[in-house]
Structure formats: C-alpha cells, structure tokens
Amino acid sequence: MGKKMYEEVTPPVTTGNSGMHNIISAGTIIMGNIYTESDFRVDGEIEGEIACNEKLILGKTSRVKGKVSASYVEVFGEVEGSVMAETLEVKSSARIQGDIAAQSLEMEPNALFDGSCTMLKKTNAEKPSSYFLSE
C-alpha cells in the first residue's frame, strides 16, 4: 500500500522541426485547413487546404478536396483541387482533378490528371506558406 503503481514521465521539450512528422491515418476525416512547417503524411481524408513547408506525402488511401501546397509533394491518392510544389511526383495510383504548378514534375504511367499544368521558374516560385489561403 502506499507504493506508486506508475511513474510520471515528462516528455522532452523540443524546438523547431527536429525530425518530427505529422500523420493523418486512414479512416481519419478532417474538415478544415492545415498548415505545418514539418513533414506531413496523409492516409485519411481532408476537406480543406494543406500548406506544408517541407515534404508532403498523400498515400494511396488519401483523399484531399482543396488546395495543396508544399516544397515537395508525392501523390499516391486522390486530390480534387490545385497542387503547387517545387517538386511534384505523381505516382501511378494517383488521381488529380485540378491544376498543378511545379518547378519539377514527374508523372508515372497510369497516373490520372485532369487540369492544366504550369512549370514554374525558380524565380517565381512562392513559398508554400504564401500560397495558403491566398484566394
């Protein structure tokens, strides 16, 4: 009696990105805009805009309805909305319905894309955060 059955643990305080990642797992639905400074992976559904200043991965089970902007984007799932990135990789399982703008674009065979494509020059590429909620 009187003995503690558990020990309180204080999580370490971190500053900056320090390798932290954000994940929205399959089966999760979010309605609203998301802004992140660190890497972000989506396997669930998002109805809203995503702005990521690092790497954004939209997994095979992901569905995004809204504007997407990141430094680097890999799309395996579905996007209904515009996509802007410095580097954009559209995988064979991907479906994008909307306009894309990128400095570098790689599209695998069997990927579906319905929209216009603009290739950006380095000088007129915006930071993803400046694209967020710009319209």
pTM of structure: 0.79
Beta strand ranges found along 4-135 (DSSP E):
21-24, 29-31, 34-36, 39-42, 45-47, 50-58, 63-65, 68-75, 78-80, 83-90, 95-97, 100-107, 112-114, 117-119
| Residue 104: strand pairing partners | 87
For residue 33, the model assigns a pLDDT of 96
How buried is residue 50: exposed, middle or buried, by Cβ count under 10 Å (0-12/13-18/19+)?
A: buried
Across the chain, what does the average pLDDT equal?
A: 85
For residue 4, the model assigns a pLDDT of 53
